[in-house]
Every structure is written in C-alpha cells, then in structure tokens.
Structure 1
C-alpha cells in the first residue's frame, strides 16, 4: 500500500488546487495526492490494508484514481468512482473489476482500445481518441459516494473538462449518478442545458450549445456496466457497444466492430 499516515486535507483542497493545473498530466498527478474526504481516505486505505484473498500479493494503489486517456480525445466517458479492489488496487480507472472488463472489451471491439483487457497501470494499454474519467476519484463504501463527497471532488472534473474542451465533442455518461454529477459541471463550463433538464436513460441523447460560441457537445447516456447490470442483462455487451459506438460517431471517431457478434 502506497498511502501514508498523513492527516486529511481541508475540504477546499480540490477547489484551490484544480484550477492551477496547466495540463492533464499535472492534474492527474495532483488528484492522486488528494486527502480531502476523511471517509473516503479511511475506506480506500482500509481496503488496501485488508485486501481480498485473490489480491493479497498486490501493493494497492490506495489513492485517488485519475482519468485515463489522451489529452486530445474527442470522446469522453464518465463513470461513477473507482472500485475498492479494482481501480483502488490497480491505480487505473475501470481496471481490475468486472465493470472494467466489460468496458475495455467493448472499446476494443470498436477499435477504440489497443486490447480487450486492462490489468494495471503500466500494462501498455492505449485508448484511441477516448478519455475515461469519474466525478468521484476515491473508492466509496458500498460504491455510494455522498453528495458532499461528490461536490468536494467536482473541481477535478471541471478542470479536466476545461483541459479537454479544445478537442472534446461527445461524452458517454455511464449511469444516473454520473449524469446528475456531470450536468452542473457542464453548465459552469459554458454549455447550455435545455429546459427541462435532460433526463438520464440508456440511449438518451442531448446536444448542448456553448454560450461562448465554442463547439457544441453531444451527451449520450448509457447504463453503467456494473456486475449487477451485466449479470441481470439490464445491460448487455451489445447494448454497451451501441452507446459507445454512438458516442464515437457523434464525436467524429472511426469505429469498426472486429470482435463479438451483434447479440453477444
């Protein structure tokens, strides 16, 4: 476990620090130092101390997990938060848990990832034109961040979208939590939400104009590839590919289905 015994930081650490990040690399490095939410700090470090039996030989990341993907990505993917024994263990978002297994396999199927599996930071996996991030960067107990934790973490997402904005054309939003967390960030960044506010749903789409005359942004909603959603077939691999394919299309990315059948 890489974490330290330092005390938590003040809750305004993200708000004070995020706007000063001049690049995504700098932002990612700063996110990994955040200790602003005492409950999340305690949980992520306890998970790393106790470990699961299958991962007893791992040195857990046990820090906030930054986004993953190139800085000039036209397509963003926004999820929920790292899993205690997934991203909190591997140090990469959507890596090391069933949700990540489903997501990276779908991205590979569409030609948006260099391979269908992700195991850890440094495994040489590449994403093509895609940046994956989350509104909450620490693993929460029960996969349920509080609204206060979401709001404390919000400046990281806001700055990430600002840095991505020159190339960003579309975002696939995985799950209702991510949808609700993302909308106020987009409003603050100058994108205009229609009235009434767009409602989340699998396959929901909305085009947001930018008040400053910048490029409009396509939002595409999709169910989160959680183990529960996949096992109950609330979300199937084909459904996941469909929303990712749509996001890539409106984002101007070429896609090709080179693995898996349409009903797989």
Structure 2
C-alpha cells in the first residue's frame, strides 16, 4: 500500500507502480515528469525554480523530474548522476544548460553522435544518433548528492528504460562511480550476469556482461563524470571523453558519422 494511503504521483511507490506499465519510452518519460515520490527532492527542485540564479531570472524553470533523452532504438546508453539544479532542472532536458553538458555534447558531436555541439534549450534542434542519455536519479538533489533511499525509489524508472531499450542496447558508458554503483543492480535484476564481486568503477574500465540465454552481451564502459571539478582539474579531458564515447559507439555497432 502506498505511504499514508497515497496512490498518485506523490506516493512513495509511484515509480515502482508506474514504470513497469510504460508501453514505450514516450509514455515512460511522461510518467517520470509527473513523479513526486521523494519529498526532499521535490522541495529542492521547486525551490531552485523559485530562487533562481541571477543569470536565469527570466527563465520559467522546468522544476520537475527530467526524463531521459535520445531515440528509442539506441544501441548506446550514457548513464550519469542526476540533473543540475540550474541546468537540467531549469531547461527540462538532461545535461542541457550547464557546463557539464557543454563538455558532453561537444564530445558527442565531435564523434558523430549528436547533431550539434551545444545544448541550450529543449527546442534548440539537438538530435542524438543511436544514443540515449539516462540517469539513476531524475530530480536535482541538494549538493548533487541524492540519498541511497532516493536512488532506490527512482530505480524503477531506469530499470524500465533499459528494458525498453533492450532489443537494441549493446553498450553503456557510465559517467562516474555513483552511476556505476546504481546501474549494476539494475542490470543484474534484468538478467545480465554481473557476477560477484561486482566489477569496480574506473575510467576506461570495460566489462562485458553476458546476457540471458540467446541475448547478446552488454558492454559496460567507465568514464569519469563530466563535472566541472573533473574537467577543470584535468582529471577528465575532452580527448579522454571522446575516446570512451567512440569506443562505446563501436562496441554498440553504431556508425557514428551522423544520421
């Protein structure tokens, strides 16, 4: 039974109830954007939309959960962390409107996986080629740190997203240790053979996970997150990011030269 008798989008079990019912990614994305299951995240994302940064005072913030981005037949998935309070939470699109996104989309464009090198608004014409961007947490969290409970509550959305992508999905690039740790249980529950001990995260890590009988293997690639800290300190360079993305595209069988 839902917490305190609640059954709508503000119920704690809303993701677990709704995600499995999504017939396609369009329906899943619509349900994600309705979710209010985590009170702390709801309060934070909406507060960020009211108390805006000076540079964005004229913006009408999205201030809702941010759905995934990319085609329904993607061969490659990119799994990050969560939207930024004044990036995706403002624009309503993953990695759009912040410096992390500037780095990611420039790299995707450079290796032929995006139609343009920048992502500024939801209607700026950006297209991804063979790539779907997903996240283990769909709401902007305080200090960019969702709690384990919030991650668990949000997990059904990611599980269903991967299930819907399953017919074409062949590789996943994971940005950062948080996304890696969040993704492995989802893959294991879906039938991919993750094994014990579970593979550790590292930049350049490459793990091939056997699928259920008769299904292709899934290639899992680690990459440092495109955070400002990692980029400014040189821990992750544009060349390093391009290399991992190109490798992922090749493993997924994507002709990454555009549409």
Alignment of 1:1-264 (within 5 A): 9-255=10-256
> Deviations for 1:155-175, whole angstroms, at most 9, x for unmatched residues?
000000000000000000000
Count residues with an aligned counterpart: 251
> Deviations for 1:152-198, whole angstroms, at most 9, x for unmatched residues?
00000000000000000000000000000000000011100133211
Contact 2:108 2:245 in 1 (8 A): yes
Secondary structure of the residue aligned to 1:210 is: coil
Deviation at 1:124, TM superposition (A): 1.2
Report the Cα distance in structure 2 between the residues aligned to 1:98 and 1:246, rounded to whole angstroms: 23
Report the Cα distance in structure 1 between the residues aligned to 2:69 and 2:11, rounded to whole angstroms: 26
TM-score (norm 2): 0.95
Unaligned runs of 5+ in 2: 1-7
Contact 1:8 1:41 in 2 (8 A): no
Contact 1:85 1:97 in 2 (8 A): yes
Give RMSD over aligned pairs: 1.2
Unaligned runs of 5+ in 1: 1-6, 258-264
Secondary structure of the residue aligned to 1:207 is: strand
TM-score (norm 1): 0.93
Report the Cα distance in structure 2 between the residues aligned to 1:47 and 1:114, rounded to whole angstroms: 30
4+ runs deviating over 2 angstroms: 254-257
Contact 1:190 1:212 in 2 (8 A): no
